[in-house]
Structure formats: structure tokens, C-alpha cells
Chain A
Amino acid sequence: MEELEQYRRRVAVRHRSLRRLGVTNVRCICGETDPVCFEADHIYRREHDDACWGICVNCHRRRTARGESEHPPVGMRGNELERLGHMLLGAADYQDFIAGHHRAAAEVMFKLADMGVTVEG
């Protein structure tokens, strides 16, 4: 395929993805910015509420896996308390992920500092 056509297709896919997501730009908690790999993540678990936020596919999988293993449904469908409980745990998962990314970033900075790299404050 011609290089320019390849380029056009990439732009078109990005445009389509942003329209699909209904936003003008994206950034996941992990730093991902390509809208193509974004998905809608149900904050309260799908069965309780349709409210979503967008995160990348990897983070979505991780969060879903953690949710299913660590706080599975209690079984009282439609119960407001269970809904709120899942919402709080979902938000806590995000904070955990963000905290994990912050820790990883801090490790990188320490390593760079150890290597003698300096940045003006």
C-alpha cells in the first residue's frame, strides 16, 4: 500500500475512534493516548449501571480481572448498597492503578538520578 494512503487510513481510524468514544482526545491512567485501543469501562459493574469511563484495553482487562476475583457480585441485583459498594471498589482500583504507575515512575526517576541525569527545577 502506498505510504500516503497508509497514513490517511491511520488518521481515519483515529478520527473514527474518537467519534466512537465521543471525546476529542484521550489519555489513560497508564499514559496510553491512542484512541484505537480505548474501551468503555463500566464503573459500577455492567449489571448495576451503564455509567462508563474510557480506559485502554490492557487497563480494562486488569481491572475487570481484579474486580471479578477480589469483589465478585454478592448476588443482590438492584440493591443500591451493592451498587455503591462496587462503585467505591471500582474507584479504589483506579487509585491503586494510578498509585502503581506513580511508584513505577518514581523508580524510573530515582534510577535516572542515580545515573547522574539532572533536570532544572
Chain B
Amino acid sequence: MEPVGGASADDPVDRLIIQLRAYVAGQRGKSRRKADRAWTSGVSVVFDTETATDPSQRLRFGAYQIRHDGALIERGLFHADDAAGDDLAALRAYAAQLRPTEDGERLALLTRAEFVEHAIFKWGLEAGGLIVGFNLPFDLSRIAIAHTYGKGTMKGGFSFTLVEGRPNLRVKHLSQRASFINFAGQNGDDKRPDRGFFVDVKTLAAAQTGQSHSLESLTGLLGTTAKSPLDSYEGSLTPEMIAYCLNDVQATWECFAALAERYAGLSLPRTGMHELYSEASLGKAYLQAMGVKAWPEVQPDFPPELIGQIMSTYYGGRAEVHIRRDITPVIHCDFLSMYPTVCTLMRLWRFVIAEEMTSRDVTDEVRAFVERCGLAELRDPATWLQLHCIVQVRPERDVFPVRAQYEPDQPATIGVNRLSSREPMWFTLADVLAAKLLGGKTPEIISAIRFAPGDPQQGLQPIMLAGTEVRPAEHDFYALLINQRRRVQALEDAAEGDEKAAHGAAQQGLKILANSTSYGIFVELNVQDLDKARVVTCYDFRGVGRKLTTSKLEQPGRYFHPLLGSLITGAARLMLALAERNALDQGLDWAFCDTDSLAIADTAELPVGEFVRRVEGVRAYFEPLNPYDAKGSILQLEKVNFPPGQHHDTGALRPVNCLAISAKRYVLFDRDNAQAPSIRKASRHGLGHMLPPYREADKEQAKARAKRSGVLLWQEDLWRVIIQAYDRGRPDQPDFDALPGVEQPAATRYAVTNRTLLSWFKGYNAETPERDRVRPFNFLLTYQPKSQMEMASTAPDALRLPAWRGRMPKPASRYSSDIMKDRPEVFDRRTCEAIPWEWLRSYRRALAAHHLHSETKFRGGLGNARGTLTRRNVEAWAVTPIGKEADNLEEREVFGEGEETIEWELAHPDRTRLLADVEDVLATYRISDNTLIERAHVSRHTLTDLRRGRRVKSTSLLRLTWAAEELRREGVREAIEREDWLRYAHHLKDAVGGRNKLADLLGVSRPYMGRVLYREKPLTAAMANRLAAERSRRHRNN
């Protein structure tokens, strides 16, 4: 089998510090008692707040409802304790004319303090009421009078004082969709404080629908009272504004009631709605309902050393670009429910319900298996039952996933590259087979471990799922889910109106359930900041534990099962490798892949019919691997390959054009009759954080566009401009000026969700009166200042102002969805000083390099390079054990803040090896200590300590290593250049007639020239310059 997309043996080697996941044994947090978790009172407190529009976003007024078993028993308005006279008068007038509904509820107008005491504490906390809101952290922080920072399990969050003498309220932001919210204890002696019950409708909707919703989009989806439109909240309070707020509370309640009804239909009594944080919570609730006990619970004594080795085989989905910055015709294919499918093929459900998992050494068996296993064997479903193995290999230019920082100052990413390592490493058996398929040779296997599930657990219970009984001990849950989903999908296609919508919601629910129970919950690790550093044991790929001191800990989720996480993602990569191999065998190529999809490319300019036929050949390979009732290939054709509305007609299949920039950054498009690009599908990666410079006037059209192409109008236009640059023959220079509004400042929405992000406003808050300060959960806009170079050309005088002296301004403003209309005042968040718009970076500048974003993980993927990328030759220099990876790379790129990947300390062998290699580079290339420490930005003491065998931080050692590697590469480059000049010097000596004549020609002493020619002295830069000048002169004369 020929290697594919590989680098040749002559390609340069990248010595990289690779990252492998490790396991740090942490104690599971105590779960709350059932009685503390169950909401039984039937009371709900629903509220919403309206705020000032300045950066403080302080409370202006709010509205609330109190309900018992759904019936409205009280509703009213509340206002800020220091409300302006006009606002108060308007609220009183409105409250006076409010009339009870048919429920005959009590009506009230309260101050903030009264509302908090009455609704939040008396009805919410004391009566066990459920506190409901939409984007609840924002509203709760509006009614607070002070804040401090969370401790213990809530470290990283905020603790709010709502009223003196009552428990604080704690909020910890988890993601854009969810937060932990609860009451703190009243005092330290309270061993079992009442934490209260909170439901953020935004979170509940995301968990049930798998999508982020605004209140407006949610009311549209659920068909409840629509959120009423309101243009502006500026100026005096009007009856329309108050009615808007009351309407929002009603809409929130109705959405909550509709979602609660849906949830009740799922029959998951063991998990309350207030315990749902994501789709994964829903998946866990189903497993609980079936009585499935989690693996850490049934096998708590499983050797942690082995867990460490299993964790080291874990890599996420594969997202890569192969044909970069070239427009190529592709047929975009994706695997049918990739993760549930591989779970079914490998029968992993048996592991989920097993009372234990056993392991045994199968080295010889696996060696023989890998040797005989090829494309034909992997087409047989029986082969996939053999993949419950992890394998220790010694990689020697074998194609394996490599997680590393491929370029300095770039985040670490995973790329399937050629890997060599002095030390054996662990991979899943699926990865080893993929390495053989893609690398053309069998990796050297050192050992292998096979895992097997024990008997099913006792006490498993059947559940009903979309009208079908699931018996967990007998059925394969994943296969059943997908079969059921496809049946419901068929019903949806045939139905119309309400029935279609109902089937649509059911099949969406099944899809969410299948995905949430087949992967994420098995690798769930929750990072916890500790109040005090603690000594923990870290188990890495070497299978030994070592003590570490850490201030961060990873709490395994309830259904944590790292073997399943590794096997599932490994098998998914094998599927992609099979598709890639088959495509290449068919004479095709591929443009990009992303976890479960592959854009198969035609680079041979085949006739369309032939291209389609070959892609069908690739798809046909996967037909026997379909484990479901409805037969056909599991490698499906995406809708994007068909004209709109014709995706059921295979005769209408035709390739689309693809332009891929970097992983997850691509566009698929057609040409209309005038050959203009028509965007079919595009990614918003790298654009999603920006506020749209303009919006589509018709909201329905915007919705349809988002559904069709996955992006907003301005993002579609941007991609169009990039494609048009290719049409003009200048692909590096898209005409961004053609986009409207590109000269306005590029704004990014920013929410103050943690302590670090609040500290950004420390300077501003110190200069501002208490009531006007920026507080937790405010949302604002941030901007980028122009670069000093740009300022020098546009506003050179400004560079002399204090705001630019020795630093860059940090611009921010109040939130506005349309900055051109509202023109919010921009200020420096450190000094509170006003910043003119002329200093801000425009959309044009911010987007200028969007089409040049590098794909660092492969060779040839930097900057404006174009074409097919090749795999890097990576030499594993050392291994950094890491924890949970950051998945918010885009956010981190923009804000420079966010959840970071935990990097545990380097192990002793790695430290020793790195230090020895650094010393080796210094000696070989005659690099001084000063040069090294200057380049590495570390102190001389650090280098001295390191040499004396004292402990220094891993980060310092890694910086020294990076610097030494950079200097080594430079040294190698210089050595090659020196050799070239020396060769030229010899050539010149012969041409001019001897050493002495050459020395005279170059103006150096004759003995010195001789020493240089015979390598007794190095060829200096000055000598190279003289040779270069002589060569130029000779060129000119010729």
C-alpha cells in the first residue's frame, strides 16, 4: 500500500514537544441529596429586568410573576431602589391601571429590595420556588447590591449580595449557554444549606433543542406569545417599555411551560429541569432512568496507571485542510451519525452497561491482526468488534495524530502527521490501522491490551423512547436510537403542518440523545479552581504515577469512561482514513475534513459523470458497514451537493466548488448563469465573534439564509468577495472595500462572565462612581486599536498623546447592536478616557488576513501559500502531559482570555532530555547563554538553576527549549548558506587563478583567505557579503 499525502524521507524534521492527555486522580464532588435536588413545591417565580443603556447596565425596573402549579397568583413591577422620579411616576401610573387576569392574581409595585425579599427569598428560597428567567445570570446580577468572588466549588464565579442578612447568591459561568446558580449557606454552621432551584430558560432550551436561542427565536419555535418589538430603551420610561417588560415575563413563562411539558413527555423523573445544563445532562438523565450505573461507580478500583495510558490515546475529532486556498470541485460527504455508528459497530453499549471491564495482554494477537488487516477486512463489520484495544508502538515516520504547538505563539492543534519517537507511545488500535492505511507500512508494535465488558449490571430498567420500549440489557441503545430516528425522519418527510413539526421535534430530540449519550459524557472533565494548591497524582502515558502540586483539578463527570472516549474518536478517525484512502485509490483527492465529513475533490479535471461515479465507488465501500435497518452507505451525500430542494434525487447530484483556508474555515459555492458565485455553505469560524457590520432587513430571509448556508448575510458577502478575488486572478487581494460598512470600527460583543474579564475594567471602575461601574455579567463592546504603523499614516499626532505612549489603548463601549446608528461613546477601559473612532481598527483591517489564516499543522500551510499540503515529519522531542483541552480557540484569539488547557509539569525524563538537547544546541552552534536567555525571555537564574538540577517551572524550560530550537534552525540555515558561499569561494579561486588573487580581489589578507578556504576559520558574514558583491559584479559584467 502506497503512503498518502506524506512527506518524503528528505523532508526536514520538526522537533516538537508533543502533548498527550494524562489522568489526574481527583475526588468526585459530593452530589446533593435527592430531597435537596427535587423541586416539589410547584411554585415558580419568573422575572425579567430592564436596565440603563450605559456601560453600567444598572437596574431600571423589572417585572415578575409568581405561579403555583402554573396558575398565576401574583404579578407586578419593581423598580431600582434609587429610581428617578419620572420612572417612578410612569411605573405607578401603569401599575394603577393594571387589572388582574382571569386567575385573579394579586398585583404589586415593589422596590428592588422588597422584590428580592418577597419574591426571591420568601417565595423562591423559603417556599422552594423555582426561579425562572431568560439569561438568568444577567437578571440576577441586576438585582444585586454588591458582589464578591466565589469560593470552593464555585471558585471562578461570582457571589452576589441581594439584601443584607440573607444568603448570597452564587453564579458560575460555564458556557454561553449555561451557568451554575445557587444560594450560598446562611452561615458556616449550616451543613446542608438550601441551595434553591433555578432554571435559565435559555439553558433549558439549548439542552432540549441542541441550539442557542434568543427569547425571540424561542417563542417562534415553540409558538408561544411572541416577544414584542421595541426600538429603544433610551429616554423617559413609557407605557410601551413597561408593557414590553411584562410581555417578556409572560413569554419567558410560556416558553418555560412549553419546554417543561416537552420534558415531562420524556419521563425522566430522576432528573429535574433545573439540573439540565446541556444536551449531555439529558443523555445522563436517560442513562439514569435506565438504571445504568456509571463506570467509576461500579469499578472504582480500576488501576489509575492504566487509565493514564488510556487517556494518552485520546484525541478529538480530525479537522484538517488538505487543498488550501485553491478552488476545487468537490462532493461533500458525511458519515451517518458518526459516533453512534462506531459505537454500534464496536458494540460499545455493552461496556456502558457492564458491571466491570477487564483487560488482558494481546500483543501477539494484535501484531498478527494488524499485519493481515487491510481495506477488505475493515469492510467487514466483524473486524470492528476486534478494536477494543490500545496499542503501544514505537513510531518511526508513521502517520499518527499529533497534538503539538506547530509554530511558536500559536495554540496547540491536532494534525495527522508522520511521527517518530524514541520512546514508545500508546494509540488506539483504530489509529494503528489508520496509520497503516495512510502511511503504507505497519508501525512497530511493542505491546497491546484488549478490554472486554463484563456481564450486564443488575437492576437495569426498560424505558419508553418515542413510542418504543428500550430494554437496556437486550437492545443496542445506539442502534435503536438511530433506527427510530430514521423512522421518525421518514414520517416527517411524508407529513405536513403541525404533524411535520411534531415529527421534526421528535427526530431532533432523538438526534440530540444519540449524540449526547455516545461520546461527550464519557470524556467529561470539569475543571475546578482550588482555593488552595493541592498535591495530586498524575498518571501519564508511561503508566506511572507522580505527585504534582496544582491549583486546578479536573473532576471526572458522572459517566466518565475514558476508554470509550478514546475508542469512539479513534474509530471515527479510522472511518475518515478509510474514506481518504478509498478516494485516493479512485484517483481523487480531498479538500478538507471535519470530524465526520470529507470533501472529496477532483484535481484531475474529470468529466462530472466520472467524478460522481468514482465518489459513488468510495461510498459503496461503506455499505456493508451500515449497522441499521435502512440499508445503504453510511457515507452520505450532503444536501449541498444538490440543487435546493432536490436532495432526494441522486440524478441531480453535481459537484460544488470548494475554497478551504484552514481547519473549519471553508466555503462551498455554485456558479449562477452569469458565473457569479452563489454560496451554498460557509463557515463562520474566525467571524462569529464580530458584531455584524450590517444586517439583513428581512428577518425571515436571514433565518432562511442561516439555515441554508450556515452564515449571516455579511459573512456570505465576505466569502463572495474572497472568491471574486480568485476570479480576478488576484487571490491574495480580495476587494473588501466592496463590502458595505467595512470602514466602521470592528466591534466584538463581550460579556463580563468571570473575574479576569471584570478586572479588565479595574481602571475604569476606579475612576467611576459606584452606580455607573461595570459589574459582573454586563455585556459591552470591545474594539481593537489601530496598529502604530496605521496610526502613523492616518493620525500621527495622536501617537504623541499619553494614551499611545508605551502602550496601546484598550477601547470599549456600551453595548449596541447597531453602532453606526447609536454611535456609542468609546472609552479606554483602563483610564476611562474617551477614544475617538479614528483610532479604532476597521472591519477592513480586522478581516484583511481572513483568507490567509494559516494551517500550521501541515507543511506548506502558512500565510499566502496555496495548494496541496503535505504531512509534517514530526520528531517527538518531549511530552507535555495535559488536561482538558480548551475548545474556545476563537475566543482566545480575540480576547487573549478564556479557559486554558491545563499543562501538567513535565516528567523527569523529559526535563533531562530537553536540558541535554538545549546544551547540545548551544555547544554545536556556538550560541552564548545570553543569546539563549534573551530569545527565551527567561532570567539567568533560571538557566543556572536548571543546570544545577534545581526545579524550575515547566513553562520556563519549554521557553528555553523553543528558543534553542529556533536558534538551531537558524544555525542550520546559516551553516547551509556558509557552505554555499564556501563552494562559491572555491569556484572563484579557480576562476581568478589561485588563493592569493582571490584574497586580493576580496580585499582580505592572503593567509586568512587560505584558512577560510581550508575550513580553519569560519566564513564570516562580512566575507559572505564580499563574495556576494563580487558575484553581483560578475553578473552585471556578463
Contacts and interface: CB of A to CB of B under 8 A. Distances in A.
Nearest to B272: A24
Nearest 8 CB-CB pairings of A with B: A15-B128, A24-B38, A12-B127, A12-B126, A11-B127, A22-B35, A15-B41, A24-B40
10 contacts: A11-B43, A11-B128, A12-B128, A15-B41, A15-B126, A18-B35, A18-B40, A19-B36, A21-B35, A23-B34
A21 B34 CA distance: 11
B74 interface: yes
Interface in A8-61: 8, 11-12, 14-16, 18-19, 21-25
Contacts of A15: 40-41, 126-128
Contact of A22 (B33, B41, B68): B33
Interface string B38-66: 10111100000000000000000000000
A4 B34 CA distance: 29
Interface in B119-148: 122-123, 126-128
A22 B192 CA distance: 11
Contacts of B194: 19
B35 A14 contact: no
Contacts of B983: none
A12 B122 contact: yes
Contact of A11 (B38, B41, B106, B192): B41
Nearest to A21: B35
A18 B42 CA distance: 13
Interface in A63-110: none
Nearest to A8: B127
B102 to A, nearest CB: 17
B16 to A, nearest CB: 54
Contacts of A7: 68, 73
A19 B128 CA distance: 10
Contacts of B126: 8, 12, 15-16
Contacts of A19: 35-36, 128, 192, 194
Nearest to B33: A22
Interface of A: 4, 7-8, 11-12, 14-16, 18-19, 21-25
B34 A22 contact: yes
Interface string B2-35: 0000000000000000000000000000000111
A11 B194 CA distance: 15
A23 B36 CA distance: 8
Contacts of B127: 8, 11-12, 15
Contacts of B35: 18-19, 21-24
Contacts of A16: 126
B271 to A, nearest CB: 13
B405 to A, nearest CB: 51
Nearest to B35: A22
B41 to A, nearest CB: 5
A8 B124 CA distance: 10
A16 to B, nearest CB: 8
A4 B73 CA distance: 8
A24 B34 contact: yes
A49 to B, nearest CB: 21
A11 B129 CA distance: 9
Contacts of A22: 33-35
B275 to A, nearest CB: 13
B66 to A, nearest CB: 9
B194 to A, nearest CB: 7
A22 B68 CA distance: 22
Contacts of B68: 7, 11
In this complex, the member of B43, B106, B127 whose beta carbon has the largest number of chain A beta carbons within 10 angstroms is: B127
Nearest to B269: A24
In this complex, the member of A8, A14, A18, A19 whose beta carbon has the largest number of chain B beta carbons within 10 angstroms is: A8
Contacts of A12: 122, 126-128
A25 B73 contact: no
Contacts of B122: 8, 12
A14 B43 CA distance: 12
A35 B42 CA distance: 15
Interface string B100-118: 0000001000000000000
Nearest to B36: A19
In this complex, the member of A4, A7, A11 whose beta carbon has the largest number of chain B beta carbons within 10 angstroms is: A11
A25 B41 CA distance: 10
A38 B43 CA distance: 22
Contact of B123 (A8, A21, A24): A8
A29 B106 CA distance: 39
A4 B41 contact: no
Nearest to A16: B126
A16 B128 CA distance: 8
Given A11-B128, A18-B40, 7 more contacts: A4-B106, A8-B123, A12-B122, A15-B40, A15-B126, A16-B126, A23-B35
Contacts of A11: 41-43, 68, 127-128
Nearest to A35: B40
Interface string B162-195: 0000000000000000000000000000001010
A7 B106 CA distance: 13
In this complex, the member of A15, A16, A18, A21 whose beta carbon has the largest number of chain B beta carbons within 10 angstroms is: A15
A21 B38 CA distance: 13
A7 B123 CA distance: 11
A24 B38 CA distance: 6
A11 B41 CA distance: 7
Contacts of A18: 35, 40, 128
A23 B127 CA distance: 16
Interface in B620-664: none
Nearest to B34: A24
Contacts of B40: 15, 18, 24-25
B44 to A, nearest CB: 12
A22 B38 CA distance: 10
Contacts of B73: 4, 7
Nearest to A5: B122
Given A8-B122, A8-B127, A14 B41 contact: yes
A21 B33 CA distance: 11
Contacts of B74: 4
Interface in B60-81: 68, 73-74
A52 to B, nearest CB: 14
A51 to B, nearest CB: 17
Interface string B771-791: 000000000000000000000
A22 B34 CA distance: 7
Contacts of A24: 34-35, 38, 40
A66 B990 CA distance: 123
A97 to B, nearest CB: 25
A4 to B, nearest CB: 6
A29 to B, nearest CB: 20
A19 B127 CA distance: 11
Contacts of A8: 122-123, 126-127
Contacts of B123: 8
Nearest to B73: A4
A18 B128 CA distance: 10
Contacts of A23: 34-35
Contacts of B41: 11, 14-15
Contacts of A25: 40
Nearest to A14: B41
Interface string B427-470: 00000000000000000000000000000000000000000000
A75 to B, nearest CB: 36
A23 B40 CA distance: 10
A18 B127 CA distance: 11
Nearest to B40: A24
